[in-house]
Every structure is written in structure tokens, then in C-alpha cells.
Amino acid sequence: MQRKQIAIVGTGLIGGSLALQLNEKGLAANIIGVDANKLHAEKALEMGLVDEVMELEDAIEKSEVIILAVPVDAVLKLLPGILDKVSDQVVIDLGSTKSLVIDLVKEHPKRGRYVSAHPMWGTEFSGPEAAVKGAFEQKAVILCNTSLSDNDALEWAQMMFEKIGMHQLLMNAEAHDLHAAYVSHISHITSFALANTVLEKEREEDAIFELASAGFESTVRLAKSNAAMWVPIFMQNRENVLDVLNEHISQLKKFKSCLEKENYEYMFELIGQANKIEKVLNPGQKIGLDSTGKLKI
Amino acid sequence: MQRKQIAIVGTGLIGGSLALQLNEKGLAANIIGVDANKLHAEKALEMGLVDEVMELEDAIEKSEVIILAVPVDAVLKLLPGILDKVSDQVVIDLGSTKSLVIDLVKEHPKRGRYVSAHPMWGTEFSGPEAAVKGAFEQKAVILCNTSLSDNDALEWAQMMFEKIGMHQLLMNAEAHDLHAAYVSHISHITSFALANTVLEKEREEDAIFELASAGFESTVRLAKSNAAMWVPIFMQNRENVLDVLNEHISQLKKFKSCLEKENYEYMFELIGQANKIEKVLNPGQKIGLDSTGKLKI
């Protein structure tokens, strides 16, 4: 395997964590950081996440692989222009929504150079200082509409995700966006709303957080997430997110109705159903490996 | 400090974890396990969580301290009968709701022997095998209506909570139940409802959990919690839980309305508000110690 010249556009949580992994796994000869936020770029350089920093146009020219790790609104803005300038570089985006971006470049003459991916990993923090060593390991990555990518571009991207320890799943963009709404996007909305519920009450009740327990922390952890990353995701996945949000509100209303009617038998039943989530919360046992121990891709 | 003969009624997650701490901190001369579930009692004995197992009546007679670590419906059933039988034993209950139980025994001639406490620690697991070493450390415990407890009983309970590493807060039962609804009970309802939202969808979409990410796991973790523990809590704290659930649904509807109206500016604002939860999610910096380093009690 030959080490590549790699440009990472967006040197925050995801780009920074990926840079650490690319170095650790010997995939990069050199990492160029690109960031509209100059402070982030400088910090990433200072932390050794990237080897040098340059403007996007120069980085495209000097790289063999260009990886977009920016909010999904920035992906839509940047990707067509990047494809305009590439010759045979591989371009990979890591955004959390896929339909709009895939649709946007579907007629682009360089469409084949582009691989559309969504690694299912993140934290509630942002910026280069949020980068985590060993991120992505044992997690799933979704590759979308892979038949539209050139073979060599797809192969390199798949090799990269395998080396950094990810289970690969292929899916079309529409299915991805639907599923992501259910297992990622809605969790953020419930967390934001729960935080606001409690913060609203705190105005009247000073002592309320003195009692905050680990369970509470776990459910509101995601409420620390960055609006600049999440609002564009909700915009781009609006219809799916609305569907799941409606379903979630109606599930909450079932609990409300149990309490109002004091129908605790039905509440037992609802909680019994919810307990079944246990069987799916051990992804290591479920994802990625077929019966022969090979990756299911 | 003299080690005590201690009976733990309920040898599951909370009782088992407390037994470990009582032994570790040298508080117990002997721990007697009492459990209506014979399998739990046997398991607790086999695991060395308790030194012996007996019926409640015998355990009351042989103990200096009796600790109730059972679901809150069982607390209501057991506490009056226990107080009927005690002479000068200390009786502590660790349940998650406080108003009803305190009201139930308010005229009892032995009321003074009873200390009403709620340690803010737990996990989504249950039974003796869920016991955790070092549980309760650095967490808050709420002591309710302490003026109704005899001085010596309260002193021993406070000494115990201090030794096992808990920050103590005094509160009346009504305030406790209100706050607990906001920072603990609602988290469980949102988690149960979120699990049901996604499980409902899974019927149509096989692959949905292949994508489950750490964020999703964090928000639905509590959905594994036991109905036998939680339904009685929701019953006993019905009005507060209904209030916070209504507020939570209305907060979710704000996000829904942003999406429907494509009002992303307001969504930015809502998320910005929710981000303020960060300042209260570091309880070690906030709870428990006054400026001289003493416990705030």
C-alpha cells in the first residue's frame, strides 16, 4: 500500500480524528489541512493533526485524496467546485446526509471520482481539540450509491475505512437518510428539547441541577452539540426528521395518556416493548461480520 | 465508629451496590439480605454481597440498621410494618419518590427511626449481578424532611452517606419529587418513547440498527430499565411527571414547527439555548462543596 498525499477539508472533530487515524494506520504520506476557520487550521497544525495548511485550491492540486469533513451545508457549497478542479484525485465526503449532495453532482463529468460516505461516529464536541484517538474503530460506515463511483476511487475509500477499523454497509442515499433520521438525527432533537425543558424550569427552581444523575447526563449529553453542524442536517433531511419526530411525539403521548388515565397496565406494556431495544444495542455482535468473520459489505 | 448489624431489604442493583460500599468502608459488622425474590437473595449470598439471608421479620430483630432498596411500591407496602416492629433500629429507604411514603408514616409512633433518602445513582440494569463497586461515589443524595427523624438515626444515615462518598442535600419531599421528575424521571420516559419510535420503524426496515451510533445508544440506554421499578415511580410522582412531560412535548413541537415552517433561524436559537445545559453537566464542580471544601448540607 502506497501512502497518499491527503487533504482534509474541515479540521474539526471529524477531520481531526480522521487525521489521527490516517497517520496511525500509515495511510498518509502527508496531510494538508484546509479550514475556513483560520484558528482551527492553526490549532490543527500546532497539534500535529495536519502537516501543513493551505487554501483549498492549492490543496486540491497537491493531493491524491481529498476528504470533506465539514457541515453538510458546506459540503453542498464546496463539492461541485472541487470536482471541477480534480483530475484523478479521490474525493470523499463524510457528511451526515446523503441524498441532496448525491443529487447535486449526479451529472458532473467527474462524478466517478466522488465517494459518498457517512461514518457513524461523533461526539457532542467540536473543533480540532475535540479530535479523539482511535475514533471510528468498530463503528459502521455507510457508503452510498457506490455504483456511481469509479472502481479505483471506491476501492481506495473502502481500503481506508477498513484500515481505520470500520464495518462497511452499502445503501442508497434515500435509505441512508431515512435510517439516519431514526438512529441519529432524532436523538439530537430529543436531547435538545429535553435540555430546554429542564433549563426552562431552572429559571424558577435554582437547585434543580444539584440532583442531576448519570441517567439525565446520558440523555442530554447530545444537547451540547453544535447548531452550525446540526441545523443543516435537519434542513437537508427535513422530511424524514419530521416523520420520526411526529412518531416520537405520538409515542410520548401514549405515556402521557397512561398517566392521565392511570392506565399502568398499558404503561408496563409500553416499557416492556421499549426494553427490546437491548437486543439491538450491542452493535459489535450484530454489525459488520458475516458467519465466516468477513466484513458484510 | 462501631460496625453495625445491617439488613438490606432488596438485594438488587441498589441494595447490592450499597452492600459492596458498606463492606469496603467498614460500616457493616454483618449484612443480612432480605429479598422476596429467592433467586436474587441466593445470588447475592453466593456473590458475597450479603453474609446471610433471612426473612424480613427475623432480619429486623437481628439488625441495628434496616435499609430498604426495593421499588417504591414495595416501600409503601413494607415500611409501616417495619416501623411497627422496630425498637431503636435506624430505618432508611432509598426510593426515587418521597412524598407519598413520608405522608404514609407521618403519624407512626416510630416515625423518628425513619430517614428518607434518595441517592442519585443507578444504572439501567437490575438484580444482584448488576451491583457496581464504587457506586454512589461523588454523587448526590437527597435527604427529605430530616426534622422528622430522630437525631441519632439521622446522624448515622448522614455518616453512612458521607463515608460512601455522597454529597448530601436536604430538601422537603415535595421539592424532591418535583426536581426528580425533571432530572431523572422524564429522561426515562423520553428514552422509552424513543426506543419505541425506532422499534416501531424497525418492523418495516430491517437494516435500521446497523447504523446505530454512540449518540443513539446514549439517548436510549435508559430504555433498558425495568418496568417493575419505574411504573411505581411514575404512579407515585404522577402529577410532576405529567407536568414535565407536557413541557417536553411542547419543546419538541417547537422543533417540529421550525421544520414545518422551515424557520431555521429559530432552530438555531433553540439549539443555542439547549447548549447552555453544558454549564450544569459538570456536577463535580457545582455540587456538594462550599468555599471551605466542606459538604454543603
| Average of per-residue pLDDT values in chain A | 90
B182 with A198: CB under 8 angstroms? Answer: yes
A145 Cβ under 8 Å from any chain B Cβ: no
Cell numbers placing A194: 429535553
Helix (H, G, I), strand (E, B) or coil at B139: coil
pLDDT bracket for residue A168 (50, 70, 90): very high
> How many residues appear in chain B?
297
Contact A186 B194 (CB under 8 A): yes
pLDDT at position A297 over 70? no
β-bridge partners, B28: B4
B256 vs A276, more confident: B256
Nearest to B184 among A210, A215, A221 (CB): A215
**Does A235 contact B at CB distance below 8 Å?**
yes
Determine contact, residues B29/B5, Cβ cutoff 8 Å: yes
Q: How far is the CA of B184 from the CAs of A219, A277, B88, B284, B289, in angstroms?
A: 10, 20, 34, 18, 22
| pLDDT given at position B206 | 62
pLDDT, tens digit, for every residue of B168-216? 999 999 999 998 999 889 999 999 999 999 888 776 666 666 666 667 8
Q: Is B295 in the A-facing interface, judged by CB distances under 8 Å?
A: no
**What pLDDT is attached to residue B212?**
67
Instruction: For residues A149-156, give the mean pLDDT.
Output: 98
Question: How does pLDDT run across B215-235, given as a tens digit for each residue?
Answer: 788 888 899 999 999 999 999
How far off is chain A from B199, nearest CA to CA, in Å? 7
Position of cell 461523588? B138
**Which element (helix H / strand E) includes B118?**
strand B114-119
**Residue A205 contacts by C-beta under 8 Å, 6 or more apart in sequence?**
B178, B179, B182
Task: Look at strands B90-93 and B28-34 and give their pairing.
Answer: unpaired
CB contact under 8 A, B194 and A248: yes
Residues of B in contact with A290 (CB under 8 A): none
Q: Which domains does chain B have, with CATH numbers?
A: 4-172 (3.40.50.720), 176-283 (1.10.3660.10)
- Per DSSP, what are the bridge partners of residue A33? A8, A53
Q: CA of B241, closest CA in chain A: separation in Å? A: 8
B124-140: pLDDT as tens digits: 889 999 999 999 998 99
Q: A21 near A51, Cβ under 8 Å?
A: no
Q: Which of B123, B259, B280 has its CB closest to that of A234?
A: B259
| A chain contacts of residue B123, beta-carbon cutoff 8 Å | 214
What is the per-residue pLDDT across A224-234, written as a single tens digit (0 to 9) for each?
A: 999 999 999 99
| pLDDT of res. B221 | 86
Give pLDDT tens digits for A101-139.
999 999 999 999 999 999 999 888 899 999 999 999 989
Position B247, amino acid: E
- Are A15 and A68 a contacting pair, CB within 8 Å? no
Euclidean distance between CA atoms B163 and B6, whole angstroms? 15
- Using CB atoms and an 8 Å cut-off, which of residues 112-141 of chain A contact chain B? 120-124, 139-140
**pLDDT score recorded for residue B100:** 97
Interface residue A170 vs chain B (CB under 8 A)? no
Nearest to A9 by CA among A63, A43, A57, A56: A56
pLDDT at B218: 82
Q: Does residue B2 contact residue B30 with C-beta atoms inside 8 Å?
A: no
Point out the residue among A192, A212, A246 whose CB comes nearest to the CB of B283. A212
Report yes or no: A173 and A116 within 8 Å, Cβ to Cβ: yes
Q: B256: how many CB neighbours lie within 10 A of its CB?
A: 19
Scan residues 71-100 of A and list those with Cβ closer than 8 Å to B: none
Residues of chain B with pLDDT under 70: 203-214, 281-297
pLDDT tops 70 at residue A210: no
Alpha-carbon distance B39 to A112, whole Å?
Answer: 62
Question: The whole model's pTM is what?
Answer: 0.86
Q: Which residues of B touch A276 (CB under 8 A)?
A: 195, 199
pLDDT digits 0-9 by tens, A236-263: 999 999 999 999 999 999 999 999 999 9
Which residues of chain B are within 8 Å of residue A190 when distances are taken between CB atoms? 190, 194, 219, 252
- Disruptive mutation site among A170, A209, A238, A282 for chain B (greatest number of B CBs within 10 Å): A209
Enumerate residues 190 to 229 of chain B having a beta carbon within 8 A of any beta carbon in chain A.
Answer: 190-202, 205, 207-227
Name the phi and psi angles at A29, rounded to 5.
-80, -35
